[in-house]
């Protein structure tokens, strides 16, 4: 339903009952809402803490310096949303935590004229208010359509960064209880304001974007601490379907048919030989063993004849890649099992695949992950978008059967899904103690200086010992070691970080060596051989 005209007719105070939820989004230039089910939208609402989103976007898009905010040893009012006494908070964490002190325009030296010069060309009609720096106050009252219109004009780069910064709201913040129903679909800044009719009561909600960039706003009686979790099931039912992956999605280079020699690639039907370059349409790929398979491409797959052998590769958005893995390795119709596998597949890729020229690179192989050479099915795309941005904070692999701790077995996950278990429960059973985390790695790294110093002392001797091992590649610099508060130790190959607990015992040192070895063998199959890595870690530590 289009609500541009309906806004002036809506009741000013629609929150009559504790179970009522107001929800709206902006698509194709029109405010829309599940009007038959949700409460009517209010005529106007306070901007609340949403002003921080626009300061964040301005800073990202203009390259404005945003120094960390340091909390005082004796906290001042508001610092409880920022950091521990004496600690600091960086920009992304400040947004997720709703640290108003970080984003104060005066602290960041934001001037009225540059602000207006940035926003005015982007805004029109209902979004024009955002160009006035004086309007950036929690008590500014706006129509929901004005807030959605302003969110719609945030430039793509700034929106992508904000979406990444806000995902921890779902994994670590007030949205934790909503994860079973909403996964990674929402990237919202939460807010709470006083109920206009009931002294001592409040209204809470959130505003931001869906994973595909659709601006969204919602509110219900309660506070931001509770509303997301309490309304998660309704939000999941009422939100529109995501139309695609996020802008700025990471890319994945897939070397197709890595373990098979291709004889020829022909158009299907027709049989004309495929030419070097991007492939568009359907093709039959015939292998040297005589088997053949049909593939399809809209330009995302390419072919090149090297010597006498055709080679096919794909350049896929990460969300498309995950969907194709689900199609190839699982059954997307078993929704929760497929969601669990999608998260494990994304985790494995970000921890293990080399990063080349801005893309992850992976071979289409049973030794890594098999990837469909055809466009992803709609159920698989939905699974991928639901789990977008979510990984496990532990090393994760999957296989067909034989479930063991630390391995997701598809047959077991499928049985659990049929029995009514949700994807997070399936993951908890396969990976005891692990937690869902943002793939962006925006959790702050609390460095462990003692662990880093010990690792630095060990490296010269370890390099001499490891130089004889096939697949070993020396790191150009020692990895950063971050404190792990929960979950299993793991290595982040993309950022060269190791996440472990405090370095106190022999087993702690073995764990650190174990994750270090995963980094140094990350480009070799031995890097995924847990038995080999553990045996070598113990030899290095005790040697």
Same domain? For 492 and 538 the reply is yes
Same domain? For 187 and 137 the reply is yes
Length of the chain: 543
Considering only the C-alpha atoms of the chain, give the largest distance between any 2 of them, rounded to a whole number of Å: 79
Per-residue pLDDT at 441 exceeds 50: no
- The residue among 164, 172, 137 whose CA lies nearest residue 54 is 137
Same domain? For 420 and 344 the reply is yes
Whether the CA torsion 2, 6, 11, 12 is positive or negative: it is positive
The strand ranges marked E within 383-487 are 390-392, 397-399, 407-409, 436-438, 480-483
Using CA atoms, how far apart are residues 232 and 421, in angstroms rounded to an integer? Answer: 17
Sheet holding 309-317, edge to edge: 262-267, 277-287, 292-306, 309-317, 251-255, 359-363, 355-356
Whether the CA torsion 363, 365, 369, 370 is positive or negative: it is positive
pLDDT at 299: 95
How would DSSP label each residue in 16-73?
-STT--EEEEEETTEEE--TTTSPPPPS-EE-GGGHHHHHHHHHHHHT---PPEEPPS
Q: Is residue 85 part of a domain?
A: no
Same domain? For 187 and 300 the reply is no
Using CA atoms, how far apart are residues 54 and 95, in angstroms rounded to an integer? Answer: 11
- The residue among 148, 154, 181 whose CA lies nearest residue 41 is 148
CATH number of the domain that 505 lies in?
Answer: 3.30.2010
Same domain? For 400 and 531 the reply is no
Q: Is residue 75 part of a domain?
A: no
Query: What's the burial of 86, exposed, middle or buried (CB within 10 Å: 0-12/13-18/19+)?
Result: exposed
What DSSP state is assigned to residue 2? B
Q: What is the pLDDT of residues 474-503, one digit of tens each?
A: 887 788 888 875 556 878 776 678 888 888
Contact 282, 295 (CB under 8 A): yes
Q: Is residue 411 part of a domain?
A: yes
Using CA atoms, how far apart are residues 533 and 514, in angstroms rounded to an integer? Answer: 6
The whole-model pTM stands at: 0.78
What is the tally of structural domains in the chain?
4
Same domain? For 58 and 200 the reply is yes
Domain boundary among 438, 470, 503: 438
Same domain? For 421 and 459 the reply is no
Q: What is the pLDDT of residues 184-206, one digit of tens each?
A: 999 999 999 887 777 888 899 99
Q: Name the residue range of residue 335's domain.
A: 325-438
Beta bridge partners of 221: 203
Q: Is residue 96 part of a domain?
A: no
pLDDT at 315: 95
Same domain? For 234 and 380 the reply is no
Same domain? For 460 and 501 the reply is yes
The strand ranges marked E within 322-387 are 355-356, 359-363
Same domain? For 135 and 256 the reply is no
Q: Which two tokens stand for residue 256?
A: 């197709």
Q: What is the pLDDT of residues 328-376, one digit of tens each?
A: 999 999 999 999 999 999 999 988 887 766 688 999 998 899 999 999 9
Q: Is residue 86 part of a domain?
A: no
pLDDT at 17: 45
Domain boundary among 238, 268, 289: 238
pLDDT at 109: 96
Q: Is residue 101 part of a domain?
A: no
Same domain? For 501 and 534 the reply is yes
Q: What is the DSSP pairing of strand 407-409 with strand 397-399? A: parallel
Residue 217: pLDDT band by 50, 70, 90 thresholds?
A: very high
Beta bridge partners of 285: 265, 293
pLDDT at 7: 25
Domain boundary among 418, 438, 458: 438
Q: Is residue 258 part of a domain?
A: yes
Same domain? For 525 and 457 the reply is yes
Q: What is the pLDDT of residues 388-401, one digit of tens each?
A: 999 998 889 999 99
Q: Is residue 94 part of a domain?
A: no
């Amino acid at each position: 339903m289009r609500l541009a005209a309906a806004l002036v007719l809506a009741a000013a105070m629609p929150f009559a009952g504790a179970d009522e939820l107001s929800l709206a989004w902006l698509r194709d230039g029109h405010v829309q809402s599940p009007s038959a089910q949700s409460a009517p939208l209010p005529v106007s609402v306070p901007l609340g803490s949403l002003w921080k989103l626009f300061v964040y976007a301005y800073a990202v898009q203009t390259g404005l310096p945003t120094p960390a905010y340091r909390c005082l040893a004796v906290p001042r009012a508001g610092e409880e949303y920022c950091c521990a006494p004496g600690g600091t908070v960086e920009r992304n964490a400040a947004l997720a935590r709703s640290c108003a002190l970080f984003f104060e325009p005066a602290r960041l030296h934001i001037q009225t004229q540059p602000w207006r010069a940035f926003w005015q060309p982007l805004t029109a009609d209902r979004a024009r208010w955002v160009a006035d720096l004086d309007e950036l106050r929690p008590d500014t009252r706006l129509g929901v359509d004005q807030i959605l219109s302003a969110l719609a004009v945030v430039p793509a780069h700034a929106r992508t960064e904000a979406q990444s910064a806000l995902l921890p709201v779902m994994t670590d913040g007030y949205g934790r209880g909503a994860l079973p129903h909403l996964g990674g679909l929402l990237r919202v800044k939460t807010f709470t304001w006083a109920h206009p009719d009931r002294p001592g009561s409040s209204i809470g909600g959130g505003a931001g974007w869906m994973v595909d960039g659709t601006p969204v706003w919602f509110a219900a009686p309660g506070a931001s601490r509770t509303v997301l979790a309490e309304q998660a099931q309704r939000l999941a039912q009422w939100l529109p379907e995501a139309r695609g992956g996020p802008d700025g999605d990471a890319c994945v280079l897939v070397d197709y048919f890595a373990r098979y020699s291709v004889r020829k690639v022909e158009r299907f039907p027709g049989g004309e030989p495929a030419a070097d370059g991007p492939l568009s349409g359907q093709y039959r790929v015939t292998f040297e063993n005589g088997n053949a398979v049909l593939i399809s491409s809209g330009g995302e797959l390419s072919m090149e004849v090297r010597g006498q052998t055709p080679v096919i590769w794909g350049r896929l958005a990460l969300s498309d890649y995950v969907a194709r893995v689900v199609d190839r390795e699982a059954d997307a119709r078993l929704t929760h099992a497929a969601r669990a596998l999608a998260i494990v597949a994304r985790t494995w890729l970000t921890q293990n695949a080399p990063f080349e020229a801005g893309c992850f690179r992976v071979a289409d192989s049973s030794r890594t992950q098999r990837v469909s050479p055809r466009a992803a099915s709609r159920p698989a795309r939905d699974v991928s978008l639901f789990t977008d941005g979510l990984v496990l904070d532990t090393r994760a692999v999957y296989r067909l059967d034989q479930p063991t701790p630390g391995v997701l077995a598809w047959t077991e996950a499928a049985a659990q899904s049929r029995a009514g278990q949700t994807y997070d429960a399936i993951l908890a059973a396969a990976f005891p103690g692990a937690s869902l985390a943002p793939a962006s790695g925006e959790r702050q790294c609390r460095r462990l200086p003692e662990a880093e110093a010990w690792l630095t002392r060990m490296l010269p001797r370890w390099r001499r010992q490891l130089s004889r091992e096939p697949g070993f590649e020396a790191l150009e610099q020692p990895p950063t070691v971050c404190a792990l508060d929960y979950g299993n130790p793991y290595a982040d190959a993309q950022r060269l970080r190791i996440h472990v607990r405090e370095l106190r015992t022999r087993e702690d040192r073995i764990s650190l060596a174990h994750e270090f070895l995963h980094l140094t063998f990350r480009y070799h199959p031995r890097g995924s051989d847990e038995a080999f890595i553990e045996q070598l870690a113990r030899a290095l530590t005790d040697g």
